[in-house]
Amino acid sequence: MEILLTVIVTFFAGMGAGLGTGFAGMSAAAVISPLLITFLNMDPYMAVGVALSSDVLASAVSAYTYGKNKNLDIRNGLIMMGSVLAFTVVGSFVSRLVPPSAMGNFSVFMTFLLGIKFIVRPVMTTKESMQEVSAKKRALQSVICGIMIGFICGFVGAGGGMMMLLILTAVLGYELKTAVGTSVFIMTFTALTGAVSHFAIGGMPDILVWVLCIAFTFIWARIAAVFANKAAPKQSGD
């Protein structure tokens, strides 16, 4: 019965995370961490590690699909990725110093707030608007925003991808598909850094839960990314 519950929880966690990653560039941890903490009573620190490691392949396959469809800005993405990676390690270390109960509650609360903000403020930008921001200003914004995103991603493992999507569109003026593609590209490396940091500091998680989350998230992320790139983006005048 316990194994059945594990399979059911990880399946829905992987499905939600994969669809969120493939369609919206959302961090898989935004879905996986709360479910593992709530239904499998997993230690919050371990849950974040499992979620981040699940995010690696899911984000990688999504980034590949978006890149193949020319919806990925690697050059500017690398600038933000540098500061994100550095502060993901810092956030991961700091999270180990926080009591598990407080960290678990903060993870769920943070996910809720970011979800509400994403729904209330949908993105309606175009590729033409991407040219309105100067390269120098975009680079500076990328570094500053990357520091905040990286710390939060490493600390709670939730909201990194969603925050990047919002910043790439609202602050840096990216078109939606390019923003999603660039977001999952950055999240591939951010999640890898965060996962390695978590497991190096806290040890390995439950292998069955770990493998199932990675597999289910990967499958659904691939499906979502393919469909997302075939869809025509809705313009503000539609």
- pLDDT (0 to 100) of residue 121: 58
- pLDDT (0 to 100) of residue 92: 72
- pLDDT (0 to 100) of residue 235: 47
- pLDDT (0 to 100) of residue 214: 94
- pLDDT (0 to 100) of residue 200: 87
- pLDDT (0 to 100) of residue 12: 95
- pLDDT (0 to 100) of residue 126: 57
Q: What is the 3-state secondary structure (H, E, C) of the chain?
A: CHHHHHHHHHHHHHHHHHHHHHHHCCCCHHHHHHHHHHHCCCCHHHHHHHHHHHHHHHHHHHHHHHHHCCCCCHHHHHHHHHHHHHHHHHHHHHHCCCCHHHHHHHHHHHHHHHHHHHHHCCCCCCCHHHHHCCHHHHHHHHHHHHHHHHHHHHHHCCCHHHHHHHHHHHHCCCCHHHHHHHHHHHHHHHHHHHHHHHHHHHCCCCHHHHHHHHHHHHHHHHHHHHHHHHCCCCCCCC
- pLDDT (0 to 100) of residue 100: 61
Per-residue pLDDT of the chain (238 residues; tens, 9 = 90+): 689 999 999 999 999 999 988 987 777 777 898 899 999 999 888 898 899 899 999 999 999 999 999 888 887 788 888 887 788 778 777 777 766 665 556 556 655 665 665 566 555 555 555 666 677 777 787 788 788 777 776 676 555 666 677 777 777 777 878 888 988 898 888 788 778 878 888 888 899 999 999 999 999 999 999 998 887 655 444 4
- pLDDT (0 to 100) of residue 111: 58
- pLDDT (0 to 100) of residue 157: 55
Record the pTM. 0.75
